[in-house]
Structure 1
């Protein structure tokens, strides 16, 4: 028979939520940093073909 779970305290809920937000923020920061380095041409991680000027 199904038994209802105990309610999570507000402080625990806040901790879980902040951890989840922090993971998203760090991923967004990495993506923005990579995009900025690609746009300036200073990227050391991704190889981008440069167009040959004729």
Structure 2
């Protein structure tokens, strides 16, 4: 017969949620920063094809 499981404390549950939310907020901040740098042409760590290069590849 299965034994009942122990209840997870509120502190542990809240700690896990806070960690998860902190990681998500950090990733969102990095994505926004990257987007801003691409728009201002100050990006150094992100490569993407320009429209001119894409047109030359098709010909």
Q: Please tell me the TM-score bracket, short chain as reference.
A: 0.7 to 0.9
In the other structure, the counterpart of 2:34 is 34
CA distance in 2, matches of 1:19, 1:37: 27
| CA displacement at 1:47 relative to structure 2 | 2.9
- Could you list the per-position Cα deviations for residues 6-54 of structure 1 after superposition, in whole angstroms to 9, with x for gaps in the alignment? 1100111110000000010000001000000000000011234375xxx
Residue 2 (structure 1) aligns with: 2
Structure 2 gap segments, 5+ residues each: 53-59
Unaligned ranges ≥5, structure 1: none
Q: SS where residue 5 of structure 1 aligns?
A: coil
Q: After the TM superposition, which parts of structure 1 deviate over 6 Å for at least 4 consecutive aligned residues?
A: none
Cα-Cα RMSD: 1.5
Between Structure 1 and Structure 2, how many residues are aligned? Answer: 51
